[in-house]
Every structure is written in structure tokens, then in C-alpha cells.
Amino acid sequence: MIRIAAVGDLHYGAGSTEILRPSLQHLHDRADLLLLAGDLTRCGGPEEVTILADELRGLPIPVVAVLGNHDYHADREDEVRRVLEDARVRVLEGEATTVDIDGVRVGIAGTKGFGGGFRGAHGSDFGEPEMKAFVGHTKTLSDRLDKALTGLDADLRIALLHYSPIEATLEGERLEIYPFLGSYLLAEAVDNAGADLVLHGHAHHGAEKGRTPAGIPVRNVAQPVIRHAYNIYTLDAGRQVLPAAAGGIR
Amino acid sequence: MSEPRADYLPEAIREKLIHDPRVAEQDLRVDVQAHRVMLGGNVASPQLKQQITEVAQELLPGYEVVNETTVVSAAEPDSEEPVL
């Protein structure tokens, strides 16, 4: 049994010291891995993420993260990434990593992802260059997610995102902003490649639980949604979810 | 700030709060009635809630700021969920 702790949207900034630290003290007794689903900072400042990195440094379990839109705001995402990596946090963007937990290979493929909307109402890369860039960014990151997941050689596979792949975990948000909260292209990538769990953040007023069209569990771990320092999900490597093309869940 | 028309004031305040690095919250609700500004939504800490009140007061001096945002708990979870 693999125990995954996950949270997103911590939004560290001035005054955030000690928010997470008390809850991290016993984390290694309760979880094998900590996954961070983006928006780790308020404005994307390296000095903001340093506060979080100092709380994570020395944790005795692996920590894997993706960045979120806030982490890009200062155009210093490379520095944000370096600060995290200096604290031994593995940061993924269109990449994957594998962690060995008691002989079980847990693969994590991660991307920030982006918006666009959902089936029947997705934006198209058509018209103005700004619109092409917007939807093109989502397509690029979704393609990279598909490849990163597909390339994983692991017993369990997790997709770690910031933006949402499905509408169900956005319930509670205003419909007008759905296109800025996620894209079905992310779900399509996950369903094509196959995964056992999808984690995302970004939708602070959304719902925690949903599934992709192929039935893969999706959890919105935005901190205002889970209302805890993190949530813990357990996975049994003996019960894997296959891509829909291979027969769906077994 | 130069004050926009009353119809547009809540959105102008919301934008200012998003772009103020002391706040940078995209999910705040802002309502303005007479000379009172009401703020709602979730925030991560009591310190951030206080900063939001102070920034809103700077933006609208002379207005009463009613900060009804909720500080979200960051306690450890009581249980775990088997998903697979």
C-alpha cells in the first residue's frame, strides 16, 4: 500500500512562515511521498518559495512538485524551481520521475497544464495570435504530459497537474471561468497514456473528487478545498487502472 | 486611486487586490454598498486576512472595510482515502 500526501495552492509569501511546518513533523509516519500541485507562491518570487523550501528541507520522504500560474507571475520560474531543487524537491514540467517505495516503483508525470475549457466548449487555436498562443500552450503541455506518462516504467502512475483535467472537480466555481481553470486535453492525455490517479489544484472553490472519462480518479487538492495541510490517498499497486483502449479499470 | 463609476468599483478593487503583492488573491469576493466595502472568500492565514483589510483600506480611504474572508485550516487530516 502506497500512501500519497498531496496539497496544492499553498501560496507562500510574506507572513506564511510556519503554516505547513507543524503538520509536516509527523508526515513521514503517515505518507511515503508528498506531491505539491502548484501555486506554491503568492507572486512567483524566489524569496517566497524559499519560505516553503526551508519547511520542506530535510523531510525524510521524497517531495515532487509542479509549478502553478502564481509561480510564473514574476517571470522568475527558473529561480523558483532552483530554490525548490536545492531543498531536494523534484520539480516536473512535461517530465516524469520514478520513486522506489519498498520495492514499488511509483511514477509521477507532471505539468502545470493550462486552460481552454471542456468538451463542447473548448477554445480553438484559431484567429488572433493571442488565441493561438493560449490554446497552443495547452496543447503543447498536454502532449508532453501524454509522452511523460507513456514513458514511465512504473508499478503505479500518477499525473500531477496544477490546472484541472475535468469539470467535476470545478463544481462550485463560476461557469464563466471554467476555461481559465482547466482543459479536457489534459484528461485526454491521461486517458490515452493511462494512470492510477490524477492530482490537481487551482480551483479553490471547486470539489475534491471526480473521474476522467476513462474512469481514472481525479482529486483537486487545492488547500482551500481540502481544508487540511494535505490529504492522504492510498494506492494498492495490485489494482491498476488501464487506459480505456486496453479495457478500462480492472 | 481615482474612483471609477460605482457600477465598476467592486471589480476595480478586486483587480487592485490581485495585483498587490501583499494580497495576490484571485478568489476574493468584493462588494461595495454606500461607503462600505465587503470582502469574502478563503485566505491562508490570519496575517493575510489582516493584510487584505489594510490594503483595501488604503485603496478606499473613508470606506468601512468589512473583511468576512475565512481563514482555511491547515491542520493534519484525520484519515486517508483509498483511491485504488
Q: Is residue A248 part of a domain?
A: no
Q: What digits encode the pLDDT tens for the residues A117-133?
A: 999 999 999 999 999 99
Domain count of chain B?
Answer: 1
Of the pLDDT bands very low, low, confident and very high (cuts 50, 70, 90), residue A18 is confident
Average pLDDT of B41-56? 93
A-chain CB neighbours of B24 within 8 Å are: 11, 13, 42-43, 70, 73
- What's the CA dihedral at A78, A20, B22, A80 to 10 degrees? 0
CATH number of residue B51's parent domain: 3.30.70.1350
Nearest to A83 by CA among A126, A25, A40: A40
Q: Is residue A245 part of a domain?
A: no
- Residue B74 is nearest to which of A15, A42, A229, comparing CB atoms? A229
Of the pLDDT bands very low, low, confident and very high (cuts 50, 70, 90), residue A241 is low
Count Cβ atoms within 10 A of the Cβ of residue A183 and give its class: 0-12 exposed, 13-18 middle, 19 or more buried: buried
pLDDT for res B1: 52
Domain count of chain A?
Answer: 1
Show the domain range for B11: 6-71
pLDDT for res A242: 54
List the grid coordinates of A134: 493560449
A126 Cα to chain B: minimum distance (Å):
28
A-chain CB neighbours of B25 within 8 Å are: 11
**pTM value?**
0.94
Of the pLDDT bands very low, low, confident and very high (cuts 50, 70, 90), residue A250 is very low
Residue with cell 503554516: A19
- What's the CA dihedral at A149, A7, A30, A95 to 10 degrees? 20
List the grid coordinates of A148: 511523460
Residue A220 · residue A206 · CB < 8 Å: yes
Show the domain range for A103: 2-238
Q: Is residue A197 part of a domain?
A: yes
Interface check A28 vs B, CB under 8 A: no
Q: Is residue A154 part of a domain?
A: yes
Between A22 and A96, the more confident residue is A96
CATH number of residue A14's parent domain: 3.60.21.10
Q: What digits encode the pLDDT tens for the residues A45-58?
A: 999 999 999 999 99
pLDDT for res A160: 99
